[in-house]
Amino acid sequence: SITKERTEVVLQGTSSLDPNDPAAVWEEYDFKCKPGDLKRRPCFITPYHYRLDWLMWFAAFQTYEQNEWIIHLAGKLLAQEEEALSLMATNPFAGRAPP
């Protein structure tokens, strides 16, 4: 069965010196096929899935302790590692200092 609600894991970063500042601007990393921007055409790759996008869907049903790989992915994104960034559709910090 399919759930009626969809819980999402969203990865964001900020260039703000104080991430707790209410004025801090948080920018989202977009995934290649995970649902997101409603103006974007849906990804159509049947019968295959982008593995990371698919794992993110299941990670939303559990805690981060059950999906420690998310912490490692976040660290790689913070370090601007090209291998991790290549899995994403967009890098909001491209050409800028890391978040």
Report yes or no on whether pTM surpasses 0.75: yes
Closest CA to 11 of 95, 91, 94, 98: 91
DSSP of 17-63, one letter per residue? Answer: S-TTSTTPPEEEPPBSSSS--TTSPPP--TT---HHHHHHHHHTTS-
Q: What is the CA radius of gyration of the chain?
A: 15
CA 34 – CA 44 distance, rounded (Å): 11
Tokens read off for 28: 């989202």
Pick from 17-21, 37-41, 81-85, 86-90: least confident: 37-41
Cα separation, 17 vs 80, whole angstroms: 18
Per-residue model confidence as pLDDT tens digits over 28-42: 998 888 777 778 877
